[in-house]
Amino acid sequence: MTLQDNILSALHEQNIHFVDLWFIDIMGIHKSVTVPAAQVARVLEGGLSFDGSSVDGFARVAESDMVLMPDPATFAVLPWTHDDERTARLICTVTTPKGQPFVGDPRTALVNALQQAADMGFVFKTGMEMEFFVFRNGPDNRPDLSQPYDDSSYYDMATEAAHSLRRRMMTTLDALGIPVNSAHSEIGAGQHEIELDFDEALTCADQVMTARVALKTITAQHGAHCTFMPRPCASSPGSGMHTHQSLHDRETGENVFVDLEDEYGLSAVARYFLAGQLTHARAMTAILAPLVNSYKRLGTSFEAPVHVTWAHINRAALIRVPGMQPGQEGHTRLELRCPDPSSNPYLATAVMLQAGLDGIRRRLPLPEPLEETLLMQKRSRIRHYEVLPASLGEALDALEQSEIVLSALGPYIADRYLAAKRQEVDQYNSQITTWEVDRYLGRY
């Protein structure tokens, strides 16, 4: 049986009445169209037409006709739906009415980057550590930032309510076919981390997109609010999405980052890849940390990276080479620490990959690792190291100067992303904050 046949059988056998067609816009916002189960066979065959002119960054009115093409491999039943509302979902790519991939589709941008890796003989794999906050809702049913769901800190035993919520989250992700390695309390009150399993990069991006919907849905059912905002409270550390990465041989599946003779266990390919990401780090940051609020985390929050460095032990480094237990050397990977969970998982993965592949193509030299922290060092000591952008505006400046990172997005996405984010910066800069009023109104 084909995947399409399996889906149609599942709709009947599991009494599924609806299917949600999911996709994502350039800004990383989840979109969905619901079709009755009776229409699914037609949609699997020819897609579903929709008006793209109202989707942020997708198309002008004159070219608004778009088609959602479901990926049959992404079929999953939404475990929070029941009875006559039982619903499954399919993740879609976006095409033109003539069946051509739409250049503004983030999932297509990642597929294109993965094809470039495949042409070089590689398969790219990733694994995400998703951090997030959970707040209780106030009387107006809006999240109350003064009421975190629990008061636990790093690896503390959380309250039973928080444990129950986290177990429900993990059970839901498992039902959606998303393996979880572990879950625990993070440093901030109400802050949690769920580590997703390592997988091929497109699958992992789909899982991040799905997990964000699932965790918000389950939390809402508990009368609370889950947020992937990078830093919702100044009194708490920010939330990151550390990303583990490795390249594998397309034919054998072997991890090509491994060299047991190297001090850090890194092959020449891994060193080139790492050097490429360091070279393009500032430009990548505009995609990996995409919000004005992202820069309230980077460089200011606990262990969030500042300097463009790499290391084995130093957890303040931008890229870390995690230690491997004996017998686990085949899992050698690079951990990129600047992404946050508000980023578009498809665009983020695409730029990470393109930056690394550029390092391989050009055989870029890798600087020496920095195993000591620079957090308390004198300015004369740290000025030799490049730093990540201090604001979204600065990150966008760096992005505009990087042909490699822009090429990962493609001209269509790049132009619209830059325009939207410049507008976001301008709107932020026009605000008069309470801090400004409290500090200056009486003084001047």
Write the burial class of residue 54 (CB in 10 Å: 0-12 exposed, 13-18 middle, 19+ buried).
exposed
Handedness of CA 25, 335, 120, 357 (dihedral sign): positive
Question: Among residues of the chain, what percentage have pLDDT more than 90?
Answer: 75
Q: Report whether pLDDT(112) > 90.
A: yes
- At the fourth CATH level, the homologous superfamily of domain 3-100 is Glutamine synthetase, N-terminal domain (3.10.20.70)
Q: How far is CA 212 from the centre of its chain?
A: 10
Please state the rounded mean pLDDT for residues 206-215: 97
pLDDT of residue 48 exceeding 60: yes
Q: For the stretch 243-254, what's the b/e string if a residue is b when 16 or more beta carbons lie within 10 angstroms of its beta carbon? A: bbbbbbeeeeee
Instruction: Decide if 3-100 and 112-434 have a common fold.
Output: no
Amino acid at 93: T
How far apart, in whole angstroms, are the C-alpha atoms of residue 94 and residue 345?
Answer: 16
CA distance 66 to 189: 43
- Residue 379 scores a pLDDT above 50: no
More reliable by pLDDT, 185 or 374: 185
Phi and psi at 236, nearest 5°, equal -120, 155
- Per residue in 322-333, pLDDT (tens digit) is 876 666 767 899
- Indicate if the pLDDT at residue 151 is higher than 80: yes
CB 29 within 8 A of CB 393: no
Instruction: Note the pLDDT of residue 173.
Output: 97
Q: What is the DSSP letter of 376?
A: T
- Count of helix runs (H) and strand runs (E) in the chain: 13, 16
3-state secondary structure of 375: coil
- Estimate the crossing angle of helix 392-400 against helix 281-288, to 10 degrees: 120
Domain-wise residue ranges, the chain: 3-100, 112-434
pLDDT at position 1, please?
A: 78
Global pTM value: 0.94
CB-based contact 94:23 (threshold 8 Å): yes
**CATH no., domain 112-434:** 3.30.590.10
Distance in angstroms (rounded) separating the CA atoms of residues 28 and 30 = 6
Q: Which pLDDT score, from 0 to 100, does residue 380 have?
A: 45
| CA–CA distances in Å: residue 357 to residues 121, 183, 317, 365 | 11, 32, 21, 13
Tokens 């209780």 correspond to 136
List the single range of 1-15, 250-264, 360-374, 418-432 with lowest mean pLDDT: 360-374
